[in-house]
Chain A
Amino acid sequence: METHQAGSCGSTAEADEKLMKVQSAISQFRMVKGALIPVLHEIQDIYGYLPEPVLEVVSAELGLTMSEIYGVASFYHFFSLTPKGEHVVHLCMGTACYIKGAQGILDRLSTELHVPVQGTTEDNKFTLEATRCLGACGLAPVMTIGEKVHGRLVPGNIPKILKEYK
């Protein structure tokens, strides 16, 4: 459903606008050597993930096979081939956070949201992700929900924080 809306055959004004942004990104990078990764970054910026029909556009425009594009997109953690929920919860699993109990926070998030790590809730509200390092070790354990940072967490904080976004 979502994939169709986001894709090249989308009919809404919003979908057209997004596709225009993709076209402009492609023309911006067309002459750049190694354009694929910068283009994928732009697409993920526009849609929040990499929709298949849009990757087909990239394939045609940059003259790359879909297998090459998938090969690259699936290799890097930052790229996602599936849509994300409205709020993406990034729990830092860097060493400093882990030592200070990030696993317990992750388990609690998973229990409260009823999703496994990398999962999205049924109502598409939340996606739970474990990230490598947010580089804010002074706030360990730390997580971000959207742009907002929540630091110095204990598992007991989680229900209250999630409630802010429900």
Chain B
Amino acid sequence: MKLLTDLEAIKTLTQARLDNRKVTGALPEAITFRSVMVCGGTGCTSSDSSQIIDKLNQEIAARGIQVQVEVVRTGCFGLCELGPVVIVYPEGIFYSRVEVQDIPKLVEAHLLQGKPYEKKIYEKTRQDNGHILNFEETEFYKKQVRIALHNCGVIDPENIDEYIGSDGYQALGKVLKTMSRQEVIETVKQSGLRGRGGGGFNTGLKWEFAAKQDKAQKYVICNADEGDPGAFMDRSILEGNPHSVIEAMAIAGYAIGADQGFIYVRAEYPIAVQRFMKALEQAREYGLLGSDILGTGFSFSIEVRLGAGAFVCGEETALIHSIEGHRGMPTPKPPFPAVEGLWGQPTIINNVETLANVAQIIMHGAAWYAGFGTEKSKGTKVFALGGKVVNTGLVEVPMGITLREVIFEIGGGIPGGKKFKAVQTGGPSGGCLTEEHLDCTIDFDTLTSLGSMMGSGGMIVMDEDTCMVDVARFYLDFTRDESCGKCTLCRIGTKRLLELLDKITEGKGTMEDLEKLESLSNQIRNASLCALGQTAPNPVLSTLKYFREEYLAHVVDHKCPAGVCKSLIAYQIDEELCRGCSLCAKKCPVDAITGELKEPFVIDTAVCIKCGVCFDVCKFKAVAIV
């Protein structure tokens, strides 16, 4: 078992190593040690970052410079678009889209000769005067404040000593040694932290409800199921800083008087599961979980439960039933889980991102945290920025920042010179916002008042090539499929909504259908037990409100202005532009294209299945959507 003094000793030992991972601005000849950080998040791992690490170690060993260089596999840096990402300290040089074959040259140039390897330097860090910015000075990073993502990209998530080296488990020590349960709850309450999983409920208040229950057995649950398609912050936190979640769960356990925690994590996230399990094992080994933690007499343990792919399990009562071994179906509240939760005992459920803030709040104080954000939405929020935006990835920004700042400054705007059309926040429960909302601030209440919501933090950018009716249909297809089936209007209503949207995207919709969409949406919203049903119509209502003309184009003119809805488009070859190369005909899976070489080819629309292959392969832009 470790004591606080042991943590101090580990911290002192490790800190020197972590200090090397800072941009010092030192001249290359003055550098004696370099840290090469390789992103080990899911995005980068998917594009071979493991092989890059192996190759780096090989090359470094071959040159005998192991003593001068460390290679660290970290969590996600955020800029997933550019993966695999490698950062070299102390210069803070950011390399993007690194490939295994780049490594020998990178090692030779940068690590041996101290000259950055030009070919893979992230272009946005290059200045006209030849100066190379360190990554923190780029547009993507400079407006970010990383609190929940603290440590992601900085430490090796599989090494508990590195977590301790960056103040890890100090908050737990502080809480257990110097604070009463009520003081912990007060601190969290004062910080203004609200649930980041979507609900936005005051976290400290939730803890207080559970703490007040006079029961011997209570539980802490971490919701790491992340069912929102297009959000991956919880996954990245588990992959990049798993101990922060463990530490916070133990703090929550102390605050409410629980000795048992559960983490409910998606089985579809294998790297996150594996890293979290490893972190648990290390924490147990150090006595930071188990009985008599840090010699204080407090005991807490954590069990892992794998989710099995049900979006509705994001709802607290449904999640509880799933841990109990049943179908994840919600039940009415009250009783709230804080009063009667898992196996009938007081239970708090917090999302991963919410918990990732807790140790930071304890260490730096409630006022520090409340210093970020707006009056009613304190702190920062992590967004998974995706879709038609240049810099897709994870960004953490103070609440109150505008959509424009996130999409156009941090996100770098819309690629390919296209026009911004909409941004969808809050996933299937949220809504689409338009250009006129770009200067609105991002916080829980503003987004809700505009008909969207914060949700878990998915932020999907759409350009002129996106059909808003089709997007609404996409979300309805999702919620219809994910409805647990308990409430009639959620089960059948979402199906009917989807049918109406299908009809419209097929060009068979009527004006009456638009009215039906609205009235049915309101009924589903009012007659569903849980948030899944209550929010399912949001994508429909918000697109109807802000993009009505697009619905009208489908219904009245039988046209899909964005050229997406298959029934309303056709492919045609422009005779003038076609060079008769026959590539389209060769690639057409149904032989719908015929013609003579060097003569214009023709598409038989009766045979065409509108797969778009001809459009994709044509080198002369001769295929058009009409």
Contact = CB atoms under 8 A, between A and B. Distances in A.
Q: Which of B228, B308, B310: most chain A Cβ within 10 A? A: B308
23 contacts: A33-B324, A72-B325, A77-B310, A78-B308, A93-B229, A95-B424, A99-B388, A99-B471, A100-B387, A108-B611, A111-B589, A132-B227, A133-B228, A134-B268, A135-B232, A135-B269, A136-B80, A137-B230, A137-B386, A139-B43, A140-B392, A142-B46, A149-B46
Given A95-B230, A156-B587, A104 B310 contact: no
Interface stretch (B493-501, B521-529, B600-608, B612-620): B612-620
A46 interface: no
Contact of B392 (A38, A108, A131, A137): A137
Contacts of B611: 104, 107-108, 111, 155
A156 B613 contact: yes
A140 B458 CA distance: 14
Given A133-B232, A137-B232, A34 B617 contact: no
A29 to B, nearest CB: 10
A37 B305 contact: yes
A40 interface: yes
A71 interface: yes
B227 A95 contact: no
A35 interface: yes
A36 B327 CA distance: 11
A123 to B, nearest CB: 19
A137 B387 CA distance: 8
Interface string B326-361: 111000000000000001000000000000000000
Contacts, number: 151
Q: Which of A79, A142, A155: most chain B Cβ within 10 A? A: A155
Interface string A76-98: 11110000000000000111101
A134 to B, nearest CB: 7
Given A78-B267, A135-B42, A136-B43, A41 B388 contact: no
Given A76-B328, A135-B42, A137-B393, 8 more contacts: A37-B308, A38-B306, A75-B327, A76-B308, A77-B308, A77-B310, A133-B230, A138-B392
A98 B47 CA distance: 20
Given A96-B230, A112-B589, A137 B80 contact: yes
Interface in B10-53: 42-43, 46-47
Contact of A71 (B327, B393, B424, B427): B327
A62 B237 CA distance: 35
A155 B311 CA distance: 28
B387 A95 contact: yes
B210 to A, nearest CB: 19
Interface in A1-49: 33-38, 40-41
Interface in B454-478: 458, 460, 462, 466, 471, 474-475, 478
A95 B309 CA distance: 16
Contact of B393 (A38, A100, A138): A138
B231 interface: yes
A133 B309 contact: no
B506 interface: no
B472 to A, nearest CB: 12
Nearest to B389: A96
Given A34-B323, A41-B308, A133-B232, A99 B387 contact: yes
A37 B313 CA distance: 14
A151 interface: yes
